[in-house]
Chain A
Amino acid sequence: MSVKVKIPTQLRAMSGGEGVVTVEGSTVTEVLDALFAVHGELRERIYDDEGGLRRFVNVYVGGDDIRFEQGLDTPVPAGGEVQILPAVAGG
Protein backbone atom coordinates (compact mmCIF):
# COMPACT_ATOMS: atom_id res chain seq x y z
CA MET A 1 0.00 0.00 0.00
CA SER A 2 1.50 3.25 -1.14
CA VAL A 3 1.62 6.13 1.38
CA LYS A 4 2.88 9.72 1.09
CA VAL A 5 5.22 10.93 3.84
CA LYS A 6 5.62 14.70 4.16
CA ILE A 7 9.07 15.69 5.39
CA PRO A 8 9.51 19.05 7.19
CA THR A 9 12.03 21.52 5.79
CA GLN A 10 14.31 20.97 8.80
CA LEU A 11 14.85 17.31 7.79
CA ARG A 12 15.10 17.64 4.03
CA ALA A 13 18.88 17.66 4.09
CA MET A 14 18.49 14.01 5.10
CA SER A 15 15.86 13.15 2.48
CA GLY A 16 17.85 14.32 -0.52
CA GLY A 17 15.92 17.59 -0.50
CA GLU A 18 12.60 15.77 -1.00
CA GLY A 19 9.53 17.24 0.71
CA VAL A 20 7.38 14.18 -0.08
CA VAL A 21 8.55 10.58 -0.09
CA THR A 22 6.29 7.74 -1.24
CA VAL A 23 6.73 4.42 0.62
CA GLU A 24 4.77 1.27 1.50
CA GLY A 25 3.24 0.45 4.91
CA SER A 26 -0.04 0.04 6.77
CA THR A 27 0.91 1.46 10.20
CA VAL A 28 2.99 4.48 11.21
CA THR A 29 5.81 2.16 12.35
CA GLU A 30 5.84 0.35 9.01
CA VAL A 31 5.72 3.62 7.08
CA LEU A 32 8.58 5.16 9.09
CA ASP A 33 10.67 1.96 8.81
CA ALA A 34 10.16 2.06 5.05
CA LEU A 35 11.17 5.74 5.06
CA PHE A 36 14.33 4.97 7.07
CA ALA A 37 15.17 2.16 4.62
CA VAL A 38 15.44 4.84 1.92
CA HIS A 39 16.84 7.71 4.02
CA GLY A 40 18.65 6.09 6.95
CA GLU A 41 19.81 9.32 8.58
CA LEU A 42 16.23 10.29 9.40
CA ARG A 43 15.87 7.55 12.02
CA GLU A 44 17.91 9.19 14.74
CA ARG A 45 16.27 12.55 14.09
CA ILE A 46 12.76 11.18 14.54
CA TYR A 47 13.27 8.39 17.09
CA ASP A 48 14.87 8.71 20.52
CA ASP A 49 17.33 6.20 21.97
CA GLU A 50 14.52 3.90 23.10
CA GLY A 51 12.95 3.73 19.66
CA GLY A 52 10.01 5.99 20.51
CA LEU A 53 9.13 9.30 18.90
CA ARG A 54 11.33 12.15 20.05
CA ARG A 55 9.64 14.52 22.50
CA PHE A 56 9.50 17.42 20.07
CA VAL A 57 8.39 15.53 16.96
CA ASN A 58 4.71 15.41 16.00
CA VAL A 59 3.39 12.82 13.54
CA TYR A 60 -0.01 13.12 11.92
CA VAL A 61 -2.03 10.63 9.86
CA GLY A 62 -4.60 12.35 7.67
CA GLY A 63 -4.18 15.49 9.78
CA ASP A 64 -4.74 13.75 13.14
CA ASP A 65 -2.02 13.65 15.82
CA ILE A 66 -1.15 9.96 16.31
CA ARG A 67 -1.01 10.49 20.08
CA PHE A 68 -4.82 10.76 19.93
CA GLU A 69 -4.91 7.52 17.95
CA GLN A 70 -2.78 4.44 18.60
CA GLY A 71 0.63 6.08 18.59
CA LEU A 72 3.13 4.37 16.31
CA ASP A 73 0.61 1.52 15.80
CA THR A 74 -1.89 3.92 14.22
CA PRO A 75 -3.13 2.43 10.92
CA VAL A 76 -2.37 4.33 7.73
CA PRO A 77 -4.90 3.86 4.92
CA ALA A 78 -3.77 3.09 1.37
CA GLY A 79 -3.15 6.37 -0.42
CA GLY A 80 -3.01 8.11 2.98
CA GLU A 81 -0.64 10.80 4.16
CA VAL A 82 1.78 10.77 7.09
CA GLN A 83 3.12 14.17 8.11
CA ILE A 84 6.15 14.80 10.31
CA LEU A 85 6.41 18.25 11.91
CA PRO A 86 8.35 19.99 14.69
CA ALA A 87 6.27 20.29 17.88
CA VAL A 88 7.66 23.54 19.24
CA ALA A 89 5.62 26.05 17.25
CA GLY A 90 2.74 28.21 18.36
CA GLY A 91 1.46 29.80 21.51
Chain B
Amino acid sequence: MPATALKCRECKTEYALEARYVCEKCFGPLEVAYDYSALAGDPDHQRRRIQAGPQNIWRYADFLPLAGGSPGASTRGASRSGLPAGCTPLIRADRLAAELGLNEVWVKNDAANPTHSFKDRVVSVATHRARELGFDTLACASTGNLANAVAAQASALGMRSYVFIPSDLEEQKILATGVYGTNVVAVKGNYDDVNRLCTELSGERDRWAFVNVNMRPYYAEGSKTLAYEIAEQLGFRTPDRIVAPIASGSLFTKIAKGFEEWLELGIATGELPTMNGAQALGCSPVATAFENGHDVCRPVKPDTIAKSLAIGNPADGPYALELARRSGGKIDSVTDDEIREGIALLARTTGVFTETAGGVTTATLKKLADRGDIDPDERVVIVITGEGLKTLDAVRDSFTTHTIEPNYDAFEAEFAVAGSR
Protein backbone atom coordinates (compact mmCIF):
# COMPACT_ATOMS: atom_id res chain seq x y z
CA MET B 1 0.00 0.00 0.00
CA PRO B 2 1.28 3.48 -0.74
CA ALA B 3 0.25 5.05 2.60
CA THR B 4 3.48 5.90 4.40
CA ALA B 5 2.63 7.92 7.51
CA LEU B 6 0.23 10.19 9.29
CA LYS B 7 1.40 13.75 8.70
CA CYS B 8 0.37 16.99 10.40
CA ARG B 9 -1.27 19.36 7.94
CA GLU B 10 0.18 22.30 9.82
CA CYS B 11 3.71 21.52 10.99
CA LYS B 12 4.34 18.39 8.85
CA THR B 13 5.43 16.23 11.78
CA GLU B 14 5.04 12.56 10.86
CA TYR B 15 3.59 9.73 12.94
CA ALA B 16 3.14 6.00 12.41
CA LEU B 17 -0.12 4.81 10.80
CA GLU B 18 -1.86 4.27 14.15
CA ALA B 19 -5.15 5.35 15.70
CA ARG B 20 -4.30 8.99 16.22
CA TYR B 21 -5.71 12.17 14.73
CA VAL B 22 -4.02 15.17 16.26
CA CYS B 23 -0.45 16.42 16.16
CA GLU B 24 1.09 16.35 19.60
CA LYS B 25 3.27 19.36 18.77
CA CYS B 26 0.76 21.86 17.36
CA PHE B 27 -2.65 20.16 17.72
CA GLY B 28 -3.10 20.32 13.94
CA PRO B 29 -5.03 17.57 12.13
CA LEU B 30 -3.18 14.49 10.90
CA GLU B 31 -3.65 13.33 7.32
CA VAL B 32 -2.58 10.14 5.58
CA ALA B 33 0.55 10.69 3.48
CA TYR B 34 1.19 8.47 0.46
CA ASP B 35 4.03 7.51 -1.79
CA TYR B 36 2.44 7.05 -5.18
CA SER B 37 5.68 6.54 -7.07
CA ALA B 38 4.88 2.85 -7.59
CA LEU B 39 1.60 3.83 -9.29
CA ALA B 40 3.02 6.59 -11.48
CA GLY B 41 3.91 6.26 -15.13
CA ASP B 42 1.24 3.90 -16.47
CA PRO B 43 -2.23 5.44 -16.12
CA ASP B 44 -3.71 3.03 -18.70
CA HIS B 45 -2.73 0.07 -16.57
CA GLN B 46 -4.12 1.78 -13.47
CA ARG B 47 -7.44 2.53 -15.19
CA ARG B 48 -7.78 -1.08 -16.33
CA ARG B 49 -6.98 -2.28 -12.83
CA ILE B 50 -9.71 -0.05 -11.40
CA GLN B 51 -12.27 -1.18 -13.99
CA ALA B 52 -11.57 -4.83 -13.22
CA GLY B 53 -12.17 -4.21 -9.51
CA PRO B 54 -15.26 -4.89 -7.40
CA GLN B 55 -18.43 -2.82 -7.75
CA ASN B 56 -17.76 -0.86 -4.56
CA ILE B 57 -15.17 1.53 -3.13
CA TRP B 58 -12.55 -1.23 -2.89
CA ARG B 59 -11.94 -0.85 -6.64
CA TYR B 60 -9.97 2.19 -5.42
CA ALA B 61 -8.10 0.29 -2.70
CA ASP B 62 -4.76 1.34 -4.24
CA PHE B 63 -5.52 4.90 -3.11
CA LEU B 64 -6.86 4.10 0.35
CA PRO B 65 -4.94 3.63 3.61
CA LEU B 66 -5.42 -0.08 4.24
CA ALA B 67 -2.29 -2.15 4.78
CA GLY B 68 -3.92 -5.24 3.29
CA GLY B 69 -5.51 -3.54 0.28
CA SER B 70 -9.09 -4.49 -0.57
CA PRO B 71 -10.56 -6.28 2.49
CA GLY B 72 -11.83 -9.78 1.82
CA ALA B 73 -11.73 -11.52 -1.54
CA SER B 74 -14.19 -9.57 -3.66
CA THR B 75 -15.10 -10.37 -7.22
CA ARG B 76 -16.61 -7.79 -9.54
CA GLY B 77 -20.15 -8.64 -8.56
CA ALA B 78 -19.85 -10.07 -5.07
CA SER B 79 -18.22 -8.75 -1.95
CA ARG B 80 -16.89 -10.38 1.19
CA SER B 81 -15.97 -7.08 2.78
CA GLY B 82 -18.74 -6.35 5.28
CA LEU B 83 -21.25 -3.83 4.01
CA PRO B 84 -19.78 -2.51 0.76
CA ALA B 85 -20.27 1.16 -0.08
CA GLY B 86 -19.98 3.18 -3.25
CA CYS B 87 -20.56 2.75 -6.97
CA THR B 88 -23.61 4.95 -6.65
CA PRO B 89 -25.34 6.35 -9.76
CA LEU B 90 -24.24 9.51 -11.53
CA ILE B 91 -27.41 10.77 -13.18
CA ARG B 92 -27.58 13.30 -15.99
CA ALA B 93 -30.18 15.82 -14.85
CA ASP B 94 -31.27 17.59 -18.04
CA ARG B 95 -34.62 18.75 -16.64
CA LEU B 96 -32.93 20.29 -13.62
CA ALA B 97 -30.33 21.92 -15.86
CA ALA B 98 -33.00 23.33 -18.19
CA GLU B 99 -34.90 24.83 -15.29
CA LEU B 100 -31.75 26.61 -14.14
CA GLY B 101 -30.65 27.77 -17.61
CA LEU B 102 -27.68 25.40 -17.67
CA ASN B 103 -26.72 22.78 -20.23
CA GLU B 104 -25.07 19.98 -18.28
CA VAL B 105 -25.82 19.08 -14.68
CA TRP B 106 -25.20 15.69 -13.11
CA VAL B 107 -26.47 14.36 -9.80
CA LYS B 108 -24.16 12.07 -7.87
CA ASN B 109 -26.76 10.21 -5.84
CA ASP B 110 -24.95 8.96 -2.75
CA ALA B 111 -28.27 8.22 -1.08
CA ALA B 112 -27.89 4.94 -3.00
CA ASN B 113 -25.39 3.63 -0.41
CA PRO B 114 -26.33 0.77 1.98
CA THR B 115 -27.50 3.09 4.79
CA HIS B 116 -28.50 5.83 2.35
CA SER B 117 -25.74 8.38 2.77
CA PHE B 118 -22.12 8.98 1.78
CA LYS B 119 -21.11 8.07 5.33
CA ASP B 120 -20.92 4.40 4.34
CA ARG B 121 -17.79 5.27 2.36
CA VAL B 122 -15.92 6.87 5.23
CA VAL B 123 -17.09 4.28 7.74
CA SER B 124 -15.95 1.43 5.48
CA VAL B 125 -12.42 2.78 5.33
CA ALA B 126 -12.24 3.69 9.04
CA THR B 127 -13.69 0.33 10.08
CA HIS B 128 -11.38 -1.82 8.02
CA ARG B 129 -8.37 0.17 9.20
CA ALA B 130 -9.65 -0.21 12.78
CA ARG B 131 -9.79 -3.99 12.28
CA GLU B 132 -6.26 -3.99 10.92
CA LEU B 133 -5.22 -2.16 14.09
CA GLY B 134 -6.99 -4.73 16.28
CA PHE B 135 -10.06 -2.82 17.48
CA ASP B 136 -13.30 -4.68 18.16
CA THR B 137 -15.52 -1.72 19.10
CA LEU B 138 -16.68 1.10 16.84
CA ALA B 139 -17.98 4.47 18.00
CA CYS B 140 -18.81 7.86 16.54
CA ALA B 141 -20.12 11.37 17.19
CA SER B 142 -22.92 11.77 14.70
CA THR B 143 -25.59 14.08 13.34
CA GLY B 144 -27.47 10.94 12.26
CA ASN B 145 -26.20 9.55 8.98
CA LEU B 146 -22.90 8.51 10.49
CA ALA B 147 -24.73 6.74 13.31
CA ASN B 148 -26.68 4.72 10.73
CA ALA B 149 -23.51 3.78 8.89
CA VAL B 150 -21.46 2.85 11.97
CA ALA B 151 -24.25 0.77 13.49
CA ALA B 152 -24.82 -1.12 10.23
CA GLN B 153 -21.15 -1.69 9.45
CA ALA B 154 -20.52 -2.92 13.00
CA SER B 155 -23.37 -5.39 12.70
CA ALA B 156 -22.21 -6.61 9.32
CA LEU B 157 -18.77 -7.34 10.75
CA GLY B 158 -19.83 -8.54 14.21
CA MET B 159 -18.30 -5.64 16.12
CA ARG B 160 -19.66 -3.83 19.18
CA SER B 161 -20.72 -0.24 18.59
CA TYR B 162 -21.66 2.93 20.45
CA VAL B 163 -23.16 5.84 18.56
CA PHE B 164 -23.48 9.28 20.14
CA ILE B 165 -26.12 11.63 18.72
CA PRO B 166 -27.78 14.90 19.74
CA SER B 167 -31.02 13.99 21.54
CA ASP B 168 -33.15 16.23 19.27
CA LEU B 169 -32.26 14.31 16.10
CA GLU B 170 -34.87 13.38 13.48
CA GLU B 171 -36.80 10.29 14.63
CA GLN B 172 -36.16 8.51 11.31
CA LYS B 173 -32.41 8.67 11.86
CA ILE B 174 -32.67 7.35 15.42
CA LEU B 175 -34.92 4.45 14.36
CA ALA B 176 -32.71 3.63 11.39
CA THR B 177 -29.77 3.37 13.77
CA GLY B 178 -31.23 1.46 16.71
CA VAL B 179 -32.53 -1.29 14.48
CA TYR B 180 -29.00 -2.60 13.94
CA GLY B 181 -28.61 -3.45 17.60
CA THR B 182 -26.07 -0.77 18.47
CA ASN B 183 -25.85 1.23 21.70
CA VAL B 184 -27.61 4.51 20.90
CA VAL B 185 -26.47 7.29 23.24
CA ALA B 186 -28.65 10.41 22.90
CA VAL B 187 -26.74 13.33 24.39
CA LYS B 188 -28.68 16.31 25.74
CA GLY B 189 -26.99 18.96 23.67
CA ASN B 190 -26.10 19.85 20.08
CA TYR B 191 -23.60 18.10 17.80
CA ASP B 192 -20.71 20.18 19.10
CA ASP B 193 -21.51 18.99 22.65
CA VAL B 194 -21.61 15.40 21.37
CA ASN B 195 -18.29 15.91 19.64
CA ARG B 196 -16.69 17.35 22.78
CA LEU B 197 -17.85 14.37 24.80
CA CYS B 198 -16.57 11.91 22.20
CA THR B 199 -13.22 13.69 21.96
CA GLU B 200 -12.82 13.27 25.71
CA LEU B 201 -14.10 9.68 25.67
CA SER B 202 -11.75 8.66 22.87
CA GLY B 203 -8.84 9.66 25.09
CA GLU B 204 -10.09 7.48 27.92
CA ARG B 205 -11.37 4.45 25.95
CA ASP B 206 -8.28 3.48 24.12
CA ARG B 207 -9.77 0.20 22.88
CA TRP B 208 -12.53 2.01 21.02
CA ALA B 209 -12.21 3.10 17.42
CA PHE B 210 -14.11 6.37 17.18
CA VAL B 211 -14.38 6.55 13.42
CA ASN B 212 -14.40 10.37 13.31
CA VAL B 213 -12.10 11.02 16.26
CA ASN B 214 -9.09 8.75 16.70
CA MET B 215 -9.69 7.10 13.29
CA ARG B 216 -10.43 10.41 11.58
CA PRO B 217 -7.45 10.48 9.19
CA TYR B 218 -8.53 7.12 7.69
CA TYR B 219 -12.23 7.97 7.82
CA ALA B 220 -11.71 11.21 5.91
CA GLU B 221 -9.86 9.40 3.09
CA GLY B 222 -13.05 7.49 2.32
CA SER B 223 -14.59 10.66 0.89
CA LYS B 224 -11.96 10.67 -1.87
CA THR B 225 -13.83 7.74 -3.43
CA LEU B 226 -16.65 10.14 -4.37
CA ALA B 227 -14.21 12.03 -6.58
CA TYR B 228 -12.75 8.84 -8.05
CA GLU B 229 -16.22 7.57 -8.94
CA ILE B 230 -17.38 10.84 -10.46
CA ALA B 231 -14.22 10.99 -12.58
CA GLU B 232 -14.50 7.34 -13.62
CA GLN B 233 -18.20 7.69 -14.47
CA LEU B 234 -17.37 10.69 -16.67
CA GLY B 235 -14.78 8.64 -18.58
CA PHE B 236 -11.81 9.39 -16.34
CA ARG B 237 -12.33 13.14 -16.69
CA THR B 238 -12.89 15.71 -13.99
CA PRO B 239 -16.04 17.87 -14.18
CA ASP B 240 -15.78 21.66 -14.43
CA ARG B 241 -17.57 22.32 -11.17
CA ILE B 242 -18.60 20.51 -8.01
CA VAL B 243 -21.32 21.70 -5.65
CA ALA B 244 -21.11 19.84 -2.33
CA PRO B 245 -22.37 20.44 1.19
CA ILE B 246 -20.10 21.55 4.03
CA ALA B 247 -20.57 20.43 7.63
CA SER B 248 -17.08 19.84 9.08
CA GLY B 249 -15.53 20.53 5.66
CA SER B 250 -13.97 17.06 5.49
CA LEU B 251 -16.04 15.74 2.56
CA PHE B 252 -15.57 18.96 0.60
CA THR B 253 -11.79 18.98 0.93
CA LYS B 254 -11.34 15.25 0.34
CA ILE B 255 -13.35 15.32 -2.89
CA ALA B 256 -10.79 17.82 -4.17
CA LYS B 257 -7.93 15.68 -2.86
CA GLY B 258 -9.28 12.70 -4.81
CA PHE B 259 -9.38 14.66 -8.06
CA GLU B 260 -5.93 16.12 -7.49
CA GLU B 261 -4.39 12.70 -6.87
CA TRP B 262 -5.79 11.29 -10.09
CA LEU B 263 -4.82 14.36 -12.10
CA GLU B 264 -1.27 14.11 -10.77
CA LEU B 265 -1.07 10.42 -11.63
CA GLY B 266 -2.61 11.01 -15.07
CA ILE B 267 -5.49 8.64 -14.31
CA ALA B 268 -7.97 11.46 -14.91
CA THR B 269 -7.67 14.29 -17.41
CA GLY B 270 -8.88 17.84 -16.92
CA GLU B 271 -8.34 20.27 -14.08
CA LEU B 272 -9.31 20.61 -10.46
CA PRO B 273 -13.03 21.52 -10.62
CA THR B 274 -14.27 24.82 -9.29
CA MET B 275 -15.33 23.86 -5.78
CA ASN B 276 -18.56 25.35 -4.47
CA GLY B 277 -19.48 24.69 -0.85
CA ALA B 278 -23.05 24.73 0.44
CA GLN B 279 -24.21 25.51 3.98
CA ALA B 280 -27.50 26.24 5.70
CA LEU B 281 -27.83 29.86 6.80
CA GLY B 282 -28.73 28.66 10.31
CA CYS B 283 -25.30 27.01 10.58
CA SER B 284 -22.96 28.80 8.20
CA PRO B 285 -19.64 29.42 9.95
CA VAL B 286 -17.66 28.55 6.80
CA ALA B 287 -19.84 30.58 4.41
CA THR B 288 -19.64 33.56 6.78
CA ALA B 289 -15.85 33.32 7.02
CA PHE B 290 -15.68 33.07 3.22
CA GLU B 291 -17.80 36.16 2.77
CA ASN B 292 -15.77 38.13 5.32
CA GLY B 293 -12.44 37.09 3.84
CA HIS B 294 -11.37 35.26 7.00
CA ASP B 295 -9.01 32.27 7.08
CA VAL B 296 -10.61 30.68 10.15
CA CYS B 297 -14.22 30.11 11.18
CA ARG B 298 -15.92 31.65 14.16
CA PRO B 299 -18.03 28.88 15.74
CA VAL B 300 -21.81 29.27 15.83
CA LYS B 301 -24.73 27.64 17.63
CA PRO B 302 -26.68 25.83 14.89
CA ASP B 303 -30.34 26.52 14.22
CA THR B 304 -31.43 24.89 10.95
CA ILE B 305 -33.58 22.06 9.60
CA ALA B 306 -30.42 20.71 7.92
CA LYS B 307 -29.37 18.80 11.03
CA SER B 308 -26.89 16.60 9.20
CA LEU B 309 -24.92 19.78 8.43
CA ALA B 310 -25.39 21.34 11.87
CA ILE B 311 -21.77 21.50 12.98
CA GLY B 312 -21.14 24.89 14.55
CA ASN B 313 -17.43 24.32 15.04
CA PRO B 314 -16.17 22.81 11.76
CA ALA B 315 -12.82 21.03 12.14
CA ASP B 316 -11.82 21.43 8.49
CA GLY B 317 -13.30 24.91 8.04
CA PRO B 318 -9.95 26.62 7.33
CA TYR B 319 -9.09 24.06 4.66
CA ALA B 320 -12.52 24.33 3.02
CA LEU B 321 -12.02 28.11 2.82
CA GLU B 322 -8.59 27.71 1.32
CA LEU B 323 -9.87 25.21 -1.26
CA ALA B 324 -12.87 27.29 -2.36
CA ARG B 325 -10.61 30.29 -2.93
CA ARG B 326 -7.84 28.33 -4.64
CA SER B 327 -10.23 26.65 -7.09
CA GLY B 328 -12.14 29.82 -7.98
CA GLY B 329 -15.23 28.63 -6.11
CA LYS B 330 -17.31 30.05 -3.31
CA ILE B 331 -19.08 28.97 -0.16
CA ASP B 332 -22.73 30.02 0.01
CA SER B 333 -25.56 29.61 2.47
CA VAL B 334 -29.29 29.13 1.93
CA THR B 335 -32.32 29.62 4.17
CA ASP B 336 -34.50 26.82 5.54
CA ASP B 337 -37.22 27.79 3.03
CA GLU B 338 -34.71 27.58 0.20
CA ILE B 339 -33.65 24.15 1.52
CA ARG B 340 -37.26 22.90 1.32
CA GLU B 341 -37.56 24.35 -2.18
CA GLY B 342 -34.26 22.69 -3.10
CA ILE B 343 -35.55 19.28 -2.00
CA ALA B 344 -38.69 19.81 -4.09
CA LEU B 345 -36.74 21.10 -7.10
CA LEU B 346 -34.48 18.05 -7.18
CA ALA B 347 -37.39 15.66 -6.64
CA ARG B 348 -39.63 17.08 -9.36
CA THR B 349 -36.91 17.45 -11.98
CA THR B 350 -34.84 14.29 -11.38
CA GLY B 351 -36.91 11.82 -9.36
CA VAL B 352 -34.28 11.88 -6.61
CA PHE B 353 -35.66 12.52 -3.12
CA THR B 354 -32.92 13.88 -0.92
CA GLU B 355 -32.69 14.86 2.72
CA THR B 356 -32.23 18.41 3.94
CA ALA B 357 -28.48 18.41 3.21
CA GLY B 358 -29.24 17.65 -0.45
CA GLY B 359 -31.77 20.48 -0.32
CA VAL B 360 -28.93 22.76 0.77
CA THR B 361 -26.79 21.58 -2.13
CA THR B 362 -29.54 21.88 -4.75
CA ALA B 363 -30.61 25.30 -3.46
CA THR B 364 -26.99 26.44 -3.64
CA LEU B 365 -26.74 25.23 -7.25
CA LYS B 366 -29.84 27.30 -8.03
CA LYS B 367 -28.37 30.31 -6.27
CA LEU B 368 -25.15 30.05 -8.27
CA ALA B 369 -27.09 29.65 -11.54
CA ASP B 370 -29.44 32.56 -10.75
CA ARG B 371 -26.45 34.75 -9.91
CA GLY B 372 -24.77 33.94 -13.21
CA ASP B 373 -21.75 32.33 -11.52
CA ILE B 374 -21.96 29.25 -13.75
CA ASP B 375 -21.14 29.34 -17.45
CA PRO B 376 -24.05 27.51 -19.15
CA ASP B 377 -21.61 25.20 -20.94
CA GLU B 378 -19.92 23.99 -17.78
CA ARG B 379 -20.22 20.36 -16.76
CA VAL B 380 -21.54 20.61 -13.19
CA VAL B 381 -21.85 17.77 -10.66
CA ILE B 382 -23.87 18.19 -7.48
CA VAL B 383 -23.13 15.78 -4.66
CA ILE B 384 -26.33 14.51 -3.05
CA THR B 385 -25.16 13.00 0.21
CA GLY B 386 -28.32 11.59 1.79
CA GLU B 387 -31.83 10.22 1.53
CA GLY B 388 -35.12 12.13 1.82
CA LEU B 389 -36.83 9.39 3.81
CA LYS B 390 -34.62 10.28 6.78
CA THR B 391 -35.87 13.87 7.06
CA LEU B 392 -39.57 13.53 6.23
CA ASP B 393 -40.57 16.52 8.34
CA ALA B 394 -38.95 18.79 5.76
CA VAL B 395 -41.61 17.90 3.17
CA ARG B 396 -44.60 17.44 5.48
CA ASP B 397 -47.60 19.55 4.35
CA SER B 398 -45.75 20.64 1.22
CA PHE B 399 -48.38 19.19 -1.15
CA THR B 400 -52.07 18.30 -1.31
CA THR B 401 -53.34 14.74 -1.00
CA HIS B 402 -56.65 14.07 -2.78
CA THR B 403 -58.77 12.01 -0.39
CA ILE B 404 -61.87 10.58 -2.06
CA GLU B 405 -64.57 7.94 -1.62
CA PRO B 406 -63.76 4.69 -3.46
CA ASN B 407 -65.91 5.29 -6.52
CA TYR B 408 -65.60 6.65 -10.05
CA ASP B 409 -67.84 9.68 -9.55
CA ALA B 410 -65.83 10.85 -6.56
CA PHE B 411 -62.65 10.73 -8.60
CA GLU B 412 -64.28 12.54 -11.51
CA ALA B 413 -65.64 15.21 -9.18
CA GLU B 414 -62.26 15.72 -7.54
CA PHE B 415 -60.37 16.05 -10.80
CA ALA B 416 -63.06 17.68 -12.94
CA VAL B 417 -61.62 21.09 -12.21
CA ALA B 418 -58.16 20.05 -13.25
CA GLY B 419 -59.63 18.64 -16.47
CA SER B 420 -56.98 15.95 -16.58
CA ARG B 421 -58.85 13.46 -18.74
- Spell out A's residues near B (CB within 8 Å): 6, 8-11, 13, 45, 54-58, 60, 63, 65, 67-68, 83, 85-91
Give Cα A85 to B141, complex, Å: 15
* Residues in B whose Cβ lies below 8 Å from that of A91: 212, 216, 220, 247-251, 311, 314-316
Residue of B27, B251, B299, B301 near A86 (CB, 8 A) is B27
Does B76 belong to the interface (CB within 8 Å)? no
Does B348 belong to the interface (CB within 8 Å)? no
* Residues in A whose Cβ lies below 8 Å from that of B199: 8, 85-86, 89-90
Does B26 belong to the interface (CB within 8 Å)? yes
Give the residue among B195, B250, B314, B318 with the most A Cβ atoms within 10 A: B195
Query: A86 with B21: in contact, given A65-B192, A91-B249 (CB under 8 Å)?
Result: yes
Give the residue among A58, A63, A89, A90 with the most B Cβ atoms within 10 A: A90
Q: What sequence of 0s and 1s flags, for each residue 232-254 of chain B, a beta carbon within 8 Å of any chain A beta carbon?
A: 00000000000000011111000
Contact A87 B315 (CB under 8 A): yes
Which of chain B's residues has its CB closest to A57's CB? B27
Chief secondary structure at chain A's binding surface? mixed
Which of chain A's residues has its CB closest to B296's CB? A55
* Residues in A whose Cβ lies below 8 Å from that of B329: none
* Residues in A whose Cβ lies below 8 Å from that of B96: none
Interface residues of B in 395-419 (CB under 8 A from A): none
Contact B314 A89 (CB under 8 A): no
Which of chain B's residues has its CB closest to A88's CB? B29
Which of chain B's residues has its CB closest to A14's CB? B24
Interface residues of B in 185-211 (CB under 8 A from A): 191-193, 195-196, 198-200, 202-204, 210
* Residues in A whose Cβ lies below 8 Å from that of B132: none
Does B69 belong to the interface (CB within 8 Å)? no
Which of chain A's residues has its CB closest to B140's CB? A90
Does B28 belong to the interface (CB within 8 Å)? yes
Which of chain B's residues has its CB closest to A48's CB? B26
Give Cα A57 to B199, complex, Å: 12
Query: A90 with B248: in contact, given A56-B29, A68-B301 (CB under 8 Å)?
Result: yes
Query: A10 with B311: in contact, given A63-B193, A89-B195, A90-B248 (CB under 8 Å)?
Result: no
Does B352 belong to the interface (CB within 8 Å)? no
Q: Lowest 3 CB-CB distances: which A-B pairs, in order?
A: A91-B248, A9-B203, A90-B195
* Residues in B whose Cβ lies below 8 Å from that of A86: 21-22, 27, 199
* Residues in B whose Cβ lies below 8 Å from that of A88: 21-22, 27-29, 216, 315-316
Contact B200 A10 (CB under 8 A): no
Contact B311 A90 (CB under 8 A): yes
Contact B299 A56 (CB under 8 A): no
Contact B202 A89 (CB under 8 A): yes
Contact A58 B196 (CB under 8 A): yes
Give the residue among B26, B195, B203 with the most A Cβ atoms within 10 A: B203
Q: What sequence of 0s and 1s flags, for each residue 147-176 of chain B, a beta carbon within 8 Å of any chain A beta carbon?
A: 000000000000000000000000000000
Contact A83 B248 (CB under 8 A): no
Given contacts A83-B196, A90-B195, A91-B212, 16 further A-B contacts (CB under 8 A): A8-B199, A13-B24, A45-B25, A56-B10, A56-B28, A58-B313, A60-B196, A63-B196, A85-B196, A85-B199, A85-B200, A89-B21, A89-B199, A89-B213, A90-B199, A91-B251
Which of chain B's residues has its CB closest to A87's CB? B315
B12 to chain A, nearest CB (A): 14
